Amino acid sequence: MFVRSQFYEDYVLGHYRETLGRTITETDFVIHAGQTGDFFPHHMDAEWCKTQPFKQRIAHGTLTFSVAIGMTATEINPEAFSKGYDKLRFVKPVYIGDTIHVKVTISEKSASNKPGLGTVVEHVEVINQRDELVLVCDHILLAKMKAGV
């Protein structure tokens, strides 16, 4: 992890970065269920899941989201902060043993209603080892503008 100051003006539309992969494990399922209290059978009951359309346990959507967003947190930018996430969709299921990676693309920029700040939107795509989109969302940032610009 490193510190990289990036002001609103430094963000370039269309610029993207990609993470390395991370394999989702049964331990991830168990820890996430314990942290959230979500022990629904879709995530925890292998035998019941065999009778369902996916035929196996599926990752909690919030597990996939939190792991993926954590994978993108490789640099600290003291000139911007997260305002939140928008348009979150779980596109396809993630299973135990799937390996995901994340592509983050600068998709929008606009002036903010807060003086000296601009809004930057990063489009986040989570992709599995079969090159299938499994999760998508937009990360909204408020970024400081350069002084005097």
Residue 3 has what pLDDT?
A: 79
Q: For residue 125, which of 99, 105, 96 has the smallest C-alpha distance?
A: 105
69-108 pLDDT tens trace: 999 998 889 999 999 999 999 999 999 999 999 999 999 9
Say yes or no to pLDDT of 51 above 80: yes
Residue 148 has what pLDDT?
A: 55
What pTM was computed for the model?
0.93
* Contact residues for 48 (Cβ-Cβ < 8 A; gap 6+): 41
3-state secondary structure 15-28: CEEECCCEECCHHH
Residue 55 has what pLDDT?
A: 97
Class of 2-144 in CATH: alpha beta
With both helix axes pointing from N to C terminus, report the angle between 61-72 and 26-36 in degrees, rounded to the nearest 10: 110
Domain residue extents for the chain? 2-144
